[in-house]
Amino acid sequence: MKYLSTRGADQLLSFEEAVLAGLAPDGGLYIPEHIPQLPADWQTAWKDYSFVDLSIEVLSLYIDEDEIPRAELRALVEKSYSTFRHPDITPLKKLTDSTYVLELFHGPTFAFKDVALQLLGNLFEFFLKRRNQHKGPTEKPEKLTVVGATSGDTGSAAIYGLRNKANVSIFILHPKGRVSPIQEAQMTTVTDPNVHNLAVQGTFDDCQDIVKALFGDREFNATHRLGAVNSINWARILAQTVYYFLSYFHLRRQLPDPNADVEIQYLVPTGNFGDILAGYYAKRMGLPMGRLGVATNANDILARFWRSGAYEKVDSSSPAGQSEPAAGASDGKQGADASGVKETLSPAMDILVSSNFERLLWYLAFETAEGADLAERQRKAGATIADWMGKVKSDGRVQVPVAVLELARRDFFAERVSDSQTLETIKYYFESEHYIADPHTAVGLCAARTVASQNPPNVRQIVLSTAHPAKFSEAVTRALQGSPSFDFERDLLPAEFKGLLERERRVIDVEAPDVELVKRVIEKYVVPTVGQVGASV
């Protein structure tokens, strides 16, 4: 299997090269040259597999054995998920006869990002170790400078996945004051010498733009050998496809009749579009499911796209081009700042532009591209994406053709959820099912309830639960205030969080969202090297 950029098909990379490079030199994201189909007997052969076993089967479809032999792949996967607290890794919990929650927060940092980043950290270490073991005694070891942006959970998950890894330095940018106290503490209390936290005065989109600019600076990239941990890295998406397969089998086991004619409808709280994109790949591979539900908060660029086909930073249909509050919003937290990003109770989704959406757009452009030759259609799709993303960057918007929007609606639908609806949903499920959801999961649950009445009776909904509710104690406590049966410390607080806010911290303040300021920080802590890990890119 080889990998190409969403903005050009001229150069094909191996899995190792794509993972180490992260972002393509042309600014595109790496995707597989084709989406593999499942083996004919997968439903019977895989039905009793563990998460680790399923990971090996799914990853093997995208990673050639001559790149990572199967025995070594198993060792990597087993090491990655040995850190999880639940034996199922991502357990499926039944709420009602038609609604289930897929809990993705049983890893080291209590967030779904652990599923991918524990594996990615081990992949980085594996590839570097293999490259360096062939070097002579006088040759310098190859090193990697990992940079990433976080709206909360990616940062801590990446740090826990890479702390103390040999020949790896990690720099995580977060928007100062825009992540929850627990999220900030999880990042900044890790004081390993290879870990560097940067608090940027700005938004998550500012942080993400800086990271992309660093990768786009070929000289800086080559000098410092940059690697990516954000979901722009293909390995992140690949790792996350596995829990769609696990949930499919586990839901079947929980049905009174495992062979019943049931359609699964996944609903995914969505910010950067990575988690739900993994579901799209699973569907394209052959996993049976209905349309995927995109659940957004008031930062609704994706919901607006599915409504109109316009992918735009600011809602041009609103008066004076300004986005209106989400339905039911009444508090000040959803006011937009100068960047247009609204601050909500689900901050990991407070994103203006969804980076991974570019990957889906490539497939939509490819399907509508004319030409009988595969390579020609890939080139046309790449040129189309380069044009569309250029318009988003220069004009803040792009309008896709009707045929592209219809294809998007074939596999997805979208719902927008306000802060007040989020709070109401947390309260509803606590009172009706005694289940405590974090605000991001509540966005998904609210979207699920909204569309449930339109579903045929054979539909079973699976909502992806992306974080432990204790990470967002302010929102949960606010939603459940006045509930006599709720006690935060008794019902929610994990032992790992106790005393976390009082621990020693190490963080570097960056006074403005300026790529040059971030470069200075990296140059201060990393000794420049020559060459690039992904030497062929």
pLDDT tens readout for residues 22-34:
999 999 999 999 9
Whether 302 shows a pLDDT value over 80: the answer reads yes
> What single string gives the DSSP state of each residue in 486-534?
--HHHHT--GGGTTGGGS----EEESSS-HHHHHHHHHHHS---SS-SS
Spell out the domain ranges in the chain: 235-314+342-474
- Model confidence at 299, in pLDDT bands (50, 70, 90)? very high
Exposure string of 366-404, with b = 16+ CB inside 10 Å and e = fewer, is bebbeeeeeeebbbbbbebbbebbeebeeebbbbbeeeb
pLDDT tens readout for residues 307-365:
999 999 999 887 644 444 333 332 223 345 556 889 999 998 999 899 999 999 999 99
**Residue 165 and residue 477 in contact, taking contact as beta carbons nearer than 8 Å:** no
Average pLDDT over residues 468-480: 95
* Angle at 120 (CA atoms; ends 444, 379), nearest 5 degrees: 80
Higher pLDDT among residues 535 and 40, named by residue? 40
> Which percentage of the chain shows pLDDT scores above 90?
82
Q: Which of 3, 4, 8 is nearest to 387 (CA)?
A: 8
CA 527 from centroid of its chain's CA atoms: 30
Specify the pLDDT at position 333.
34
Whether 81 shows a pLDDT value over 80: the answer reads yes
State the amino acid at position 189 in one-letter form. Answer: T
Q: What letter does residue 470 receive in the DSSP assignment? A: G
Specify the pLDDT at position 537.
21
Specify the pLDDT at position 526.
86
**Residue 285 and residue 46 in contact, taking contact as beta carbons nearer than 8 Å:** no
Whether 482 shows a pLDDT value over 70: the answer reads yes
Whether 214 shows a pLDDT value over 80: the answer reads yes
Specify the pLDDT at position 138.
86
Specify the pLDDT at position 337.
57
Specify the pLDDT at position 12.
96
Whether 109 shows a pLDDT value over 70: the answer reads yes
Give every CB contact of residue 200 below 8 A, 6+ residues apart in sequence. Answer: 173, 174, 175, 176, 206, 207, 210, 510, 512, 513, 518
pLDDT tens readout for residues 517-528:
999 999 999 855
Average pLDDT over residues 470-493: 92
**Residue 244 and residue 287 in contact, taking contact as beta carbons nearer than 8 Å:** yes
Q: Collapsing DSSP states into helix, strand and coil, what is residue 89?
A: coil
Average pLDDT over residues 439-467: 97
Q: Structure tokens of 374? A: 């595969």
Specify the pLDDT at position 338.
56
- Model confidence at 127, in pLDDT bands (50, 70, 90)? very high
- Model confidence at 292, in pLDDT bands (50, 70, 90)? very high
Specify the pLDDT at position 193.
93
Specify the pLDDT at position 230.
85
Q: Structure tokens of 242? A: 């596995």
- Model confidence at 531, in pLDDT bands (50, 70, 90)? very low
**Residue 76 and residue 122 in contact, taking contact as beta carbons nearer than 8 Å:** yes
Q: What is the mean pLDDT of the chain?
A: 92
The span from the CA of 102 to the CA of 275, in Å, is 12
The span from the CA of 408 to the CA of 388, in Å, is 16
Q: Is the dihedral of CA 386, 151, 412, 42 positive or negative?
A: positive
Q: Which of 110, 150, 198 is nearest to 473 (CA)?
A: 110
The span from the CA of 223 to the CA of 531, in Å, is 6
Whether 436 shows a pLDDT value over 50: the answer reads yes
- Model confidence at 77, in pLDDT bands (50, 70, 90)? very high
CA 383 from centroid of its chain's CA atoms: 25
Assess if CATH 3.40.605.10 describes domain 235-314+342-474.
Answer: no
Q: Which residues are catalytic?
A: 113
Q: Which of 326, 303, 307 is nearest to 414 (CA)?
A: 303
Specify the pLDDT at position 140.
87
Whether 536 shows a pLDDT value over 70: the answer reads no
Average pLDDT over residues 139-150: 92
Whether 375 shows a pLDDT value over 70: the answer reads yes
pLDDT tens readout for residues 504-517:
999 999 999 999 99
What backbone phi and psi angles, to 5 degrees, belong to 143?
A: -125, 165
